Each structure stands twice: as structure tokens, then as C-alpha cells.
Amino acid sequence: MSPEPRTVLCVALLLCLILGQACATDSQTWFGRGTEFVDKGDYSSAIDAFQNAVSLDPGYLNAWISLAYVYVQANRMTDAADAYRHALTIEPDNTVALKGLGYVYSRQGKDADALDAFNRAIAVNPGDSSSWLQKGLTLSALGRLNESIPVYQKVIELSPDDFDAWLCMGLDYYSGGNYQAALDAFEHATDLDQRSDIAWRYKGDTLSHLGRNQEAIEAYNRGLIVAPGNAEMLQGKYAAESALRSYLGGNASPAQAASETRRPYQGIPLLIGMIVVASAGIGYFYYRRKKGPVQAGKAGVVLPSPSLAGRDRTEAGGEGMGTHHDVFVSYSSKDKAVADATCAYLESRGIRCWIAPRDVLPGSNYPRAIVEAIDGSRVMVLVFSSNSNSSNHVVRELTHAVSKGVVILPFRIEDIQPSKDMEYLIGIPHWLDALTPPLDRHLTHLAETVEILLRTRNGSGQNPSPPSGDR
């Protein structure tokens, strides 16, 4: 071969190499842009970016999985399923794609297909407790309790402190009428998470079914601390009190008294929380799904995305994705009990809240999480006391809220005057006082005020001043 053809061939090979590297670099650039859009909640732009990445590099596995993730966020389930299936043509045993596809099938009501996807994920990694948990939830949705309960037991074998597995197993035992086994499961669940109103409610219901009315009342009371005013727990408590009075009056045995006043069983509202496993953190969001008389609890269908930075995206009860929360709860750690009660009550009214440390992702940067949560809020509820009045952390949160135009609503639990810093930041005279018991009455007023603020802001696009409260 003459030098000229060799030279031409070398140049051609070099050009192919350069162009190939440029293509790969460009696909990675689009992938990086897509990740940035996801962090901002701009899913439409993220979809465009990831589509560009996979068009430039059709074998880019993480880009396909990330594209599927944002399709889910945009509620485009058919497109999400297609993207996950394409990812599986690249790597058939990818558990991230298998669990994501299973979740999408579950959302589409294709429980048999979802079950198949989760079984495939388990076959690849039998020690993955999250795959087993998803399988259990799918079996629960199908009403196959004789199969779901052993699966939850397998989750607990792999992860003994898995709250979701204990709760869902208890709910399935309860649905099947095995109240003693249900009680054991709910007791484990409440030991692991004392802020779960679902666990306390069904522990109370189970104790009522067993005729243990005094203990049922105590369980309902604990649940009402978490969720003040919860109608189901109040109804259960009144029924248990009536049954106890009947028994103490000598009119019936404990079980007979309970059966006479027991509320009719209306099914357990299913609240499946999707645990989003990401390389840089874990995000959580929730959706409701009802399927016949057999239901499950708070726990976890997994929508994994190994490439997207985790961020808390809480959605309590809706199909639409992309909205984070409405209210940021600011408080001193010394007032945690009041702050938790405030958050629980607002959420019981359908007002989405962000509160630390509950909503700070494991392993994430704590100060950054606070800043991002304030940025995503429309109202900040300040639990105002002598503790928060002297807290530098609270002052920093308020300062950032002011800079972002977030409405600040002080909820005063002590009769004290604000410091100069506080007075400047929160602005007198807009207060809501909670100085006298009971707290429930003040929480009702707070929730009503927050609802007005949110409606006003939705209508005008402006940040309204809070209505004046008691001084």
C-alpha cells in the first residue's frame, strides 16, 4: 500500500475516534444538564435533555433509567415503561430498571406484570429487602394475603428493623382477622416509629377487636398526639370508651361490649410510599391507591434512579408529580413536641409540610437541605417561644425566608417579646397565639389561616400578609 492511502486511512480513523469521543462527551453533557433540571423540578426540560443523551448514545444505560424516572415524575407512565424496558435490553439483570418497571406497572394497575418484574429483581439479588417489600405490597394489592405475609416475614429476616414490613404485615393480618398476630406486628411498628398515625390507629382497632378497650384507648390517645383531630381515631376511641363503660356496668363481657360498639370495617386506606434510591441520596414521595378490602400501609414501592441526586419530593395523595410542599416548619429543637404536633395537624388537613430532621435525606448536606426546603415553600410557620427567640439557627432560617419572599406566620406558644432580630424579620403585629390550652383549638385556627394564605397566593401570585391574630 502506498503512503497516501495509509495516510488517508489514519486520518479517517483519527476522525472517527475524535467524533466518537465528541459524541460521548456531548451525551454526558446532556445527561448532566438533565440531572440539573431534575434538581430544579423542571421535568419537561429534563426529559428533553435525557432524550438528547440517549439519541446521541443509544447504549447509555443511566440516561435511559433517568429518562424513565422523569417520565414518572411527569406522570407519563407509558413512556416510562418503554424507557425502563429499553434499559433492560441493554442490561437485562439491572435491578434498578426492574424495580422501576415494577413500580410503573403497579401504577398502571398491571399487578401481575409488576409481580413478575419484582420476582426478576429478587432472582438477580435475593438479599435485596426492598425488592421483597415491593413484592409483598403487590401481593397485598392483589388480595393474596397467604402469600404476602410470608414475603413480609422475609423482609424482616433480611432487615429486622424495617418499619414498613412490620406495618404492612400487621395490616394484612388485620384484614384476615388474625388480630393477635396483627397486634404483635403493630407493636413492633410503633416501637420503630412512634410518629406513625396509621400504626397507632390500627393498633387501637386491633386491641378493640380483642376486647382490650383500655389499652385501645391508650393507643388512640398516642395516635391523636401525632394526628390531632383524626376522625377515624376519635371514632375508635369513643367506641372503645363506650365498650369499656358497658363492661364496667356489668352489661357484657369485654369482647361482647367491644362487638356492640365496634365500628364497621371499611377497608384500610392504602398509602404506598415510593422509596427512591439514588446514588447521591434517598428521596421519598407518597401516593394513594385503593384496591378492594385488602389494603396496605405507609411503605415502599421503589422507584430507583442511580444517577439522580436524591431530593425530598413529598406528594401526599395525588397522582401529579413535581410539587414539593407548601409549608416549612421552623422551630427550636427544644420545642420539637409542639412542632411535630403542628406538622401532623397541618398534614391531616392536606397541607404538605417540610420539617427537620424528618425530611432531611440520610447522608445529605443538612444546611443545604434547609435552604432548598425554604426555597420550595410558600409559607413558613414559626413555632415562636423563648427557645426559638434565642436560636441562631431559627434566625438564619427566617432571614433566608425573608430574602425569598416566603410568608412568615408566627405561632406563639409563650407570651414573650421578640428579640430585635426577630422583630425585624417576622414583622409585628401578625401573630397567632397558642398560649392557653387546649392546643387543638389553636392548631385549627393555624390550619385555617395557612389555607387562606395558600389560596390567596395561588390566586394572586403575590405573597400576602398574614391576617392579624391575637396579640
Query: In this predicted model, what pLDDT tens digit does every residue of 86-126 receive, in sequence order?
Result: 999 999 999 999 999 998 998 888 889 999 999 999 999 99
Task: Name residues whose C-beta falls within 8 Å of residue 203's C-beta, 6 or more positions apart in sequence.
Answer: 183, 186, 187, 189, 190, 219, 223
343 within domain boundaries: yes
CA gap 84, 68 in Å, rounded: 6
395 within domain boundaries: yes
| pLDDT for 289 | 30
**Parallel, antiparallel, or unpaired for β 281-288 and 271-278?**
antiparallel
357 within domain boundaries: yes
Structural domain harbouring 414: 324-471
CA gap 170, 152 in Å, rounded: 10
Answer yes or no: are the C-beta atoms of 217 and 241 closer than 8 Å: yes
Answer yes or no: are the C-beta atoms of 394 and 332 closer than 8 Å: yes
Answer yes or no: are the C-beta atoms of 163 and 192 closer than 8 Å: yes
| pLDDT for 302 | 36
328 within domain boundaries: yes
CA gap 381, 328 in Å, rounded: 6
The stretches of 263-363 forming alpha helices (DSSP H) are 336-348
Q: Where are the beta strands (DSSP E) in 33-129?
A: none
366 within domain boundaries: yes
CA gap 35, 67 in Å, rounded: 10
| pLDDT for 428 | 52
Between 167 and 268, residue with greater pLDDT: 167
Q: How far is CA 81 from CA 71, 97, 99, 110, in A?
A: 9, 10, 11, 11
- Mean per-residue pLDDT, 43-55: 92
Q: Provide the mean pLDDT of the chain.
A: 77
What CATH number has the domain bearing residue 359? 3.40.50.10140
Cα–Cα nearest to 167, from 261, 343, 255, 299? 299
Q: Residue 455 — very low, low, confident or very high, per pLDDT cuts 50/70/90? A: confident
| pLDDT for 323 | 41
Per the structure, the count of domains in the chain is 1
471 within domain boundaries: yes
Count H helices, E strands: the chain? 20, 7
Highest mean pLDDT among 67-71, 250-254, 267-271, 460-464: 67-71
pLDDT above 80 for 36? yes
CA gap 302, 315 in Å, rounded: 15
Burial call 434-459: b when 16+ CB within 10 Å, e when fewer: beeeebeebbebbbebbbebbebbee
Name the 3-class secondary structure at 315.
coil
Q: Which three cell numbers stand for residue 195?
A: 410518629
pLDDT above 80 for 401? yes
Judged by average pLDDT, the poorest of 110-124, 190-204, 282-296, 404-418 is 282-296
State the pTM of this model: 0.55
Sign of CA dihedral 298, 300, 303, 305: positive
427 within domain boundaries: yes
| pLDDT for 470 | 42
The residue assigned the cell 413484592 is: 135
377 within domain boundaries: yes
| pLDDT for 40 | 80
